[in-house]
């Protein structure tokens, strides 16, 4: 129920239907609020900026995880190159077509994050870090 909501377990869904309910509720509430405030240019511009800024920040969790692990093991270099090329073309398009300022700024931010991830791929593959020691697990906890 809503009364026993604990933020520490927000993304730890016990059932898929709970996740679907959360997404549908979020979509319904934000859709209704957007409908109510559609005539406010400040609201619409803020919502648009938050949308492009959120997209621009999509690579940051990966960048941070790579930094924490001092490794990019398991990452596809082709995927990162495709991200970077797509974000670069998109940003150039925004600049050349004089899109609103927030599109160009967020596009550049996205390209910089992509380049930082590419630099991590290069650095961690050419200058591997000292492996982190892991504690031994009993045989009963090993994956099959």
pLDDT at 134 over 60: no
pLDDT digits (tens, 9 = 90+) for 67-77: 999 898 888 88
Determine the average pLDDT of the residues in 79-84.
91
Q: Which residues of 54-91 are buried (b: 16+ CB within 10 A; e: fewer)?
A: eebeebeebbeebeeebbbeebeeeebeebbeebbebb
Question: How many independent structural domains does the chain possess?
Answer: 1
Task: Determine the distance from the C-alpha atom of residue 109 to the mean position of all C-alpha atoms in its chain, rounded to a whole number.
Answer: 13
On whether residue 35 sits in a domain, the answer given is no
On whether residue 136 sits in a domain, the answer given is no
Q: Are 71 and 120 in contact (CB under 8 A)?
A: no
Which pLDDT value is given to residue 131? 56
pLDDT at 144 over 50: no
On whether residue 4 sits in a domain, the answer given is no
> What does the block give as tokens for 70?
């001092």
**CATH number of 68's domain:** 1.20.1280.290
Q: Which domain holds residue 60?
A: 40-125
pLDDT digits (tens, 9 = 90+) for 11-40: 777 888 888 998 999 999 999 999 999 999
Which pLDDT value is given to residue 111? 96
On whether residue 120 sits in a domain, the answer given is yes
């Amino acid at each position: 129920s809503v009364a026993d909501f604990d933020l520490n377990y927000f993304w730890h869904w016990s059932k898929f239907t709970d996740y679907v309910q959360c997404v549908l509720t979020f979509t319904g509430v934000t859709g209704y609020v957007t409908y109510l405030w559609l005539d406010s240019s400040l609201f619409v511009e803020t919502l648009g900026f938050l949308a492009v800024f959120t997209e621009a920040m999509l690579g940051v969790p990966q960048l941070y995880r790579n930094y924490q692990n001092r490794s990019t093991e398991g990452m596809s270099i082709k995927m990162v190159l495709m991200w970077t090329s797509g974000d670069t073309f998109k940003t150039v398009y925004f600049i050349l077509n004089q899109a609103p300022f927030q599109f160009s700024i967020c596009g550049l931010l996205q390209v910089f994050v992509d380049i930082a991830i590419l630099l991590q791929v290069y650095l961690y593959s050419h200058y591997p870090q000292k492996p982190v020691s892991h504690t031994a697990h009993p045989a009963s906890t090993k994956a099959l």
